Amino acid sequence: MSANGLANGHMSARNVSARDGVLAKVRQSLRDVTANSSAAREADYAAIPRDYIQQGDSSRETILSLLSSRLQDYDATVYPCLRHEIAHTVAVAMKARGKTSLLHPDQLPEEWLPAGYAFSRVNGLPYSEIDRGEGVITGCVAAIALTGTIILHHGSVDGRRALTLIPDYHLCIVFADQVVETVPEGFERLAGMATLPLTTVSGPSATADIEMSRVKGVHGPRFLDVILVA
């Protein structure tokens, strides 16, 4: 019986025996594996071949245009802009979607939000209130060009998970220096954040469950726009 099993005060005696039972059977099934010290395990792990592409070699310009085209493949609208144009571009995107108000995480920089539109903080809002919102504006933590993926870490600029999930429209601000080329580079960016809640978003929600024809928009936001800040 492990100390860990006991530390979890909710474990019943039956579950402790299930734990021991499963682990005993695992060990019994692995009798052919003799090198099972932790040092041997680590050496074995280190020996795993990793000949796949880890770092891309494209130019910044190519990477950014690749991200744009991949996002457009998913029917997202991409608005390139300069840093001082963010608020203006937010207004352009909202106008194009016919939105007059958006929700946002509490610590979203004020200077991103244009005058003439309504924005509200969502701290503590119940789901039903979020559901009534017209949409949401957030930042992100990283983006992967090759797969058209935006990564949210549910912190100060991208908010708790419900915020980017319940509304039907998500407007996401992505900075050029957040964009990497490959999936491994994306995971490298996340290295220090592995235990935060993470969501990767590649286009709006979709299903192909009905005769394999792609339907955009099921339960997650059906509309995604991206402002790509140089």
Partner 1 sequence: MSVRVGEAASAPTFAVAAKSLMGNEQLRRNVRNATQVIRGKRASVVGEMPDWQQLRDTAHAIKDHTLRHLDSYLIQFEENCTRAGGKVHWARDADEANAIAIGIIRAQNETEVIKVKTMTTDEIGMNRALEAVGITPYETDLADLIVQLGDDKPSHIVVPALHRNKMEIRELFMRKMGLAELGTRPEDIAEAARLYLREKFLRVPVAISGANFAVAETGSICVVESEGNGRMCVSLPRVLISVVGIEKVIPKFADLEVFLQLLPRSATGERMNPYNSIWTGVTPGDGPQEFHVILLDNGRTKVLADSVSRETLDCIRCGACLNACPVYRQTGGHAYGSIYAGPIGAILTPQLQSMEHSQTLPYASSLCGACYEVCPVKINIPEILIHLRNKIVENGDGPSGERLGMKMAAWAMSDAASLSTARGLGRIAQMPFTNNGSIHHLPGMMSAWTATRDIPSIPAESFRQWWARRKRERPV
Interface of this chain with partner 1, residues 38 to 77, rule: CB under 8 A: 38, 41, 44-45, 48-53, 70, 74
Quick one: which of 204, 226, 227, 229 contacts partner 1 (CB under 8 A)?
204
Q: How far apart are CB 230 and partner 1 at their closest, in Å?
A: 24
What part of residues 154-193 is at the interface with partner 1 (CB under 8 A)?
Answer: 154, 160-162, 165-166, 183-184, 186-188, 190-191
The span from the CA of 207 to the CA of 214, in Å, is 6
For residues 53 and 96, which CB has a smaller minimum distance to partner 1 in the complex?
53
Calpha distance 1→84 (Å, rounded):
61
Task: Kindly state whether residue 2 participates in binding partner 1, applying the rule CB under 8 A.
Answer: yes
> Is residue 132 close enough to count as binding partner 1 by CB under 8 A?
no
The yes or no reply on residue 106 touching partner 1 (CB under 8 A) is no
Residue 111 or residue 188: which is nearer to partner 1 going by CB?
Answer: 188
Per rule CB under 8 A, count of chain residues that contact partner 1 = 81
Q: Output the smallest distance, CB 62 to partner 1, in A.
A: 15
Structure token digits, residue 49: 């071949």
Binders of partner 1 among 84-103, rule CB under 8 A?
none
Query: Residue type at 214?
Result: R
Nearest to 111 by CA among 92, 83, 151: 83
Residue 130: closest CA among 118, 122, 138: 122
Of 35-43, 83-91, 96-104, 171-179, the segment contacting partner 1 by CB under 8 A is 35-43
- Tally of CB atoms within 10 A around 230: 12
Q: How far is the CB of 123 from partner 1 (least distance, A)?
A: 9
Please select the residue that binds partner 1; options are 13, 39, 115, 208, rule is CB under 8 A. Answer: 208
Mark the segment that binds partner 1 (CB under 8 A) among 33-41, 87-95, 100-108, 111-119.
33-41
Q: What is the DSSP letter of 145?
A: T
- The neighbour count for residue 136, using CB atoms within 10 Å, is 26
Token pair 């509309």 is found at 223
Among 1, 6, 22, 118, binds partner 1 (CB under 8 A): 22
Q: Side-chain half-sphere of 137: how many Cα atoms within 13 Å?
A: 28
Supply angle C-alpha 141, 84, 174, rounded to 5: 20
SS3 188: helix
The token duo for 31 is 């009798």
